């Protein structure tokens, strides 16, 4: 078929052939881009029901937006030829990579980690691969893993149901339930993931047998030798992970791939991302960037909010690029004003490159200077200066994002280009008010939250179709309700504003996260989870989505899910101090204190780093005190407690924190006193209070019992 045209795809060369079709490298003549084109065999898709099944599968897989999953563009049929176009990935299959023997443990962990990260996103969407094997894993020259062939399970001839057979997945990778022709779920993919992990570490498959009948018998009944017995370089902790992934009864296996990800983190083995080896590393070995706060070079030095906003908008634009990891705003801006070397900052953030810049604004003119720096050697990868009219600010941001992608050799998809080129508002005045609001958005005090609402409201007045302003305003009203004793009217406004944001822009991840937060606070948890999932699907680097999703799961008692979400939050925001602290407290609630100690030390490190740059952050002071108490450093913790109690007398959530601290150090009367003041100030979240392990020491205190009773009566 070389040289032929299928629909608008000109076939260039054959890439490979499998049980369901042939894959070609092809040119999309409409969009002038190279794609991978799969042309399906006539079998097993012989009738409309089977084709409809495949189309449904492919549509679901096409909705997956993750850097470790190959993107599906379209599925169609022309002249009785059924085909699917996908992103072309230049790389080598894991199967071919293993022909030279086993991989070193660090490389194997990096690949296994990225595979699991991609699977987790698919499984959260209810999509199971069912066909995972070494031939379906592609590795680029940069070490980025791509899972191929999601949505290509084979339908049966009569019903269109999935057939699990050796013709679909190599028998070596089939799970016991597939061999028995039983129902499959995400645990089937976990089994295949375990097989691949074992093969990477040993260069061998765990189960052997000829003919196929003997191999099937081995899969069903045999216990393979440990990977560390075959390859002495394999750490024994990886044996445990593989053994659990390959548990034959499904209930004994990892119940979700997030559990395997968590266990991989705790091995402390590098995953190849900027040399990080701690519990909260960068996500993978793919390109990763941090955008630092831009410096204000304006004559009056009064444009800090505008400089911060420019940097944040660039972060948002780069967040649309699937092949790029972007450090969160909170992580990057933690180094605002820092004198540390750029390379040091980049390494701390787990990124390979750092964008820094400056802004000079005079009347209606702006000058933006930016430079992209390689963390490894400190050299400039790209630099540019823009002298434009103020109204061109969005075009400048777009050009910077495109230039960065080009400098990092990332080919943008059409969807990514469209997302980057989307203008958030056509009103410069609205944009200015929005940026003024964002400056105070992260201060997390009642006064600043009200000020932020005022700024966002003025932005909306200037542009009633400004979706981001509505999403930000929704978050502010949720914060008032959750942290600052706001009324039911705040929660109603949060729901209303988040709905408006989604109506204006259904693709805005921040709007879905804002909607999820508002719904979770009104205890509409099922709908909230859907919104959080949508937010993560649209932007897998959105810290707030993971963080507030975790809080919602905690309130419901879904501790395992909350744990995984806190870990994911820490991965997208390595500088965050809240997620490791709350994860440590969660381990206490789960009676997993053996896991709590290393996370407490990590939380202490993050808190101290944050307070060094933000010494007046009350929440960091509170969580730092809590962490110190649990580490047995009560004297230092008490300094934090007194500082907090003296300076924050009217913030309900911080009074709640002071109550937690007094409870932990064995002062029940003081704990009840501050808890009462917190409730009187507006903290009314009984479910959260009852599940908080900090209050174990005062559960029988008459004042605590009275508070719980009063809160129940209010509901």
- The three-state secondary structure class of 334 is coil
Architecture of the domain spanning 5-266: Orthogonal Bundle (1.10)
pLDDT bin (cut points 50, 70, 90) of residue 44 is: low
Query: What integer pLDDT is reported at residue 53 of this predicted model?
Result: 67
DSSP line for 184-249: --HHHHHHHHHHHHHHHHHSS-S---SSHHHHHHHHHH--PPPHHHH-TTS-HHHHHHHHHHT-SS
455 contacts: CB under 8 Å, gap ≥ 6: 433, 434, 436, 437, 440
What are the φ/ψ torsions at residue 65 (nearest 5 degrees)? -120, 95
Sign of CA dihedral 534, 540, 544, 547: positive
The closest alpha carbon to 491, from 456, 515, 525, 459, belongs to 515
List, for residues 372-392, the tens digit of each pLDDT value.
999 888 889 999 999 999 999
pLDDT bin (cut points 50, 70, 90) of residue 469 is: very high
pLDDT bin (cut points 50, 70, 90) of residue 164 is: very low
Separation CA 521–CA 571 (nearest Å): 25
Residue 266 has pLDDT above 70, yes or no: no
Separation CA 35–CA 689 (nearest Å): 53
| pLDDT higher at 614 or 477 | 477
Architecture of the domain spanning 427-537+544-551: Alpha Horseshoe (1.25)
Query: What integer pLDDT is reported at residue 274 of this predicted model?
Result: 29
Query: What integer pLDDT is reported at residue 93 of this predicted model?
Result: 92
Share of the chain above pLDDT 90, in %: 43
CATH 1.10.510.10 intervals, the chain: 5-266
Residue 160 has pLDDT above 50, yes or no: no
Mean pLDDT for 305-310 is: 92
Four-point Cα dihedral 637, 704, 523, 506, nearest 10: -20
Residue 675 has pLDDT above 60, yes or no: yes
Residue 82 has pLDDT above 50, yes or no: yes
Give the range with max mean pLDDT: 57-61, 70-74, 259-263, 285-289.
70-74
List, for residues 122-159, the tens digit of each pLDDT value.
888 888 888 899 998 999 887 889 998 875 543 333 33
715 contacts: CB under 8 Å, gap ≥ 6: 686
List, for residues 200-246, the tens digit of each pLDDT value.
999 999 998 776 778 889 999 999 999 988 887 888 789 889 999 99
Give the range with max mean pLDDT: 294-303, 341-350, 359-368, 488-497.
488-497
Residue 259 has pLDDT above 80, yes or no: yes
CATH 1.25.40.10 intervals, the chain: 427-537+544-551
Separation CA 116–CA 139 (nearest Å): 14
DSSP line for 590-643: TT-HHHHHHHHHHHHHHHHHHHHH-TT-HHHHHHHHHHHHHTT-HHHHHHHHHH
255 contacts: CB under 8 Å, gap ≥ 6: 187, 560
DSSP line for 614-627: -TT-HHHHHHHHHH
Separation CA 585–CA 455 (nearest Å): 36
How many CB atoms sit inside 10 A of residue 99's CB?
A: 9
List, for residues 398-449, the tens digit of each pLDDT value.
999 999 999 988 888 888 888 888 888 999 999 999 999 998 887 777 888 9
CATH 3.40.50.10070 intervals, the chain: 273-423
Alpha helices in 522-577 (DSSP H): 525-538, 543-556, 559-572
List, for residues 615-646, the tens digit of each pLDDT value.
878 888 888 998 998 888 988 888 887 777 66
Calculate the alpha carbon distances from 356 to 31, 307, 343, 410, 702 in Å: 33, 11, 12, 19, 56
| pLDDT higher at 532 or 347 | 532
Token representation of residue 5? 């045209």
Considering the chain, what is the average pLDDT of its residues? 85
Mean pLDDT for 584-595 is: 86
Give the range with max mean pLDDT: 46-60, 101-115, 326-340.
101-115
Burial class (CB in 10 A: 0-12, 13-18, 19+), 248: middle
Residue with tokens 């042309």: 39
* N residues, the chain: 715
Fold of 273-423: Rossmann fold (3.40.50)
């Amino acid at each position: 078929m070389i040289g032929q045209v299928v629909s608008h795809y000109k076939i260039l060369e054959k890439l490979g052939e499998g049980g369901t079709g042939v894959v070609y490298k092809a040119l999309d003549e409409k969009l002038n881009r190279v794609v991978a084109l799969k042309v399906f065999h006539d079998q097993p898709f012989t009738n409309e029901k089977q084709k409809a099944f495949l189309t449904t599968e492919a549509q679901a897989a096409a909705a997956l937006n993750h850097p470790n999953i190959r993107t599906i563009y379209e599925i169609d049929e022309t002249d009785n030829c059924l085909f699917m176009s996908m992103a072309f990935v230049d790389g080598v299959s894991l199967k071919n990579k293993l022909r030279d023997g086993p991989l070193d443990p660090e490389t194997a962990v990096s690949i296994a980690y990225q595979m699991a990260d991609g699977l987790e996103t698919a499984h959260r969407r209810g999509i199971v691969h069912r066909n995972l094997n070494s031939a379906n894993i592609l590795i680029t020259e940069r070490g980025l893993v791509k899972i191929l062939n999601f949505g290509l399970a084979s339908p049966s001839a009569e019903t269109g149901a999935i057939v699990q057979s050796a013709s679909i997945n190599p028998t070596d990778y089939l799970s016991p339930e597939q061999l028995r022709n039983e129902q499959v779920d995400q645990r089937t993919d976990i089994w295949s993931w375990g097989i691949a992990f074992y093969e990477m570490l040993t260069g061998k498959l765990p189960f052997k047998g000829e003919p196929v009948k003997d191999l099937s018998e081995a899969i069903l009944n045999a216990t393979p030798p440990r990977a560390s017995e075959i390859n002495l370089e394999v750490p024994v902790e990886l044996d445990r992970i593989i053994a659990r992934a390959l548990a034959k009864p499904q209930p004994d296996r990892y119940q979700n791939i997030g559990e395997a990800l968590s266990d991989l983190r705790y091995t402390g083995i590098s995953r190849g991302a900027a040399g990080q080896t701690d519990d909260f590393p960068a996500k993978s070995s793919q390109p990763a960037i941090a955008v630092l706060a831009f410096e204000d070079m304006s004559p009056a030095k009064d444009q800090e909010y505008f400089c911060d906003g420019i940097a944040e908008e660039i972060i948002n634009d780069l967040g649309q690029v699937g092949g790029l990891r972007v450090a969160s705003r909170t992580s990057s801006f933690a180094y605002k004003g820092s004198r540390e070397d750029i390379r040091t900052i980049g390494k701390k953030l787990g990124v390979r490159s750092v964008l820094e810049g400056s802004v000079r604004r005079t009347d209606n003119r702006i000058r933006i200077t930016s430079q992209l720096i390689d963390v490894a050697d400190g050299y400039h990868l790209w630099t540019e200066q823009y002298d434009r009219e103020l109204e061109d600010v969005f075009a400048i941001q777009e050009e910077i994002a495109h230039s960065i992608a080009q400098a990092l050799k990332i080919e943008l998809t059409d969807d990514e280009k469209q997302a980057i080129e989307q203008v958030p508002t056509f009103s410069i005045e609205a944009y200015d008010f929005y940026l003024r609001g964002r400056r105070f958005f992260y201060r997390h005090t009642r006064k600043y939250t009200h000020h932020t609402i005022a700024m966002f409201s003025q932005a909306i007045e200037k542009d009633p179709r400004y979706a981001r302003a509505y999403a930000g305003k929704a978050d502010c009203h949720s914060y008032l309700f959750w942290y600052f004793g706001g009324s039911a009217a705040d929660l109603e406004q949060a729901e209303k504003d988040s709905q408006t944001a989604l109506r204006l822009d259904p693709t805005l991840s921040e709007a879905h996260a804002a909607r999820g937060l508002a719904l979770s606070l009104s205890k509409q948890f099922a709908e909230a989870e859907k919104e959080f999932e949508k937010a993560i699907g649209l932007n897998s680097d959105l810290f707030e989505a993971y963080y507030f999703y975790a809080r919602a799961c905690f309130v419901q008692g879904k501790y395992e899910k909350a744990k995984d979400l806190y870990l994911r939050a820490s991965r997208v925001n390595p500088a965050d101090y809240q997620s490791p602290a709350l994860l440590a407290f969660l381990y206490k609630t789960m009676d997993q204190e053996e896991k709590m100690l290393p996370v407490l030390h990590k939380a202490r490190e993050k808190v101290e780093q944050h307070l060094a740059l933000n010494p007046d952050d009350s929440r960091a002071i509170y969580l730092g005190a809590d962490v110190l108490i649990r580490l047995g450093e009560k004297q230092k913790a008490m300094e934090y407690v007194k500082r907090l109690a003296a300076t924050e007398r009217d913030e309900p959530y911080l009074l709640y924190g002071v109550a937690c601290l007094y409870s932990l150090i064995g002062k029940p009367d003081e704990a009840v006193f501050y808890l009462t003041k917190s409730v009187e100030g507006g903290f009314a979240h009984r479910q959260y209070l009852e599940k908080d392990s900090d209050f174990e020491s005062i559960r029988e205190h008459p004042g605590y019992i009275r508070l719980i009773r009063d809160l129940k009566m209010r509901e």
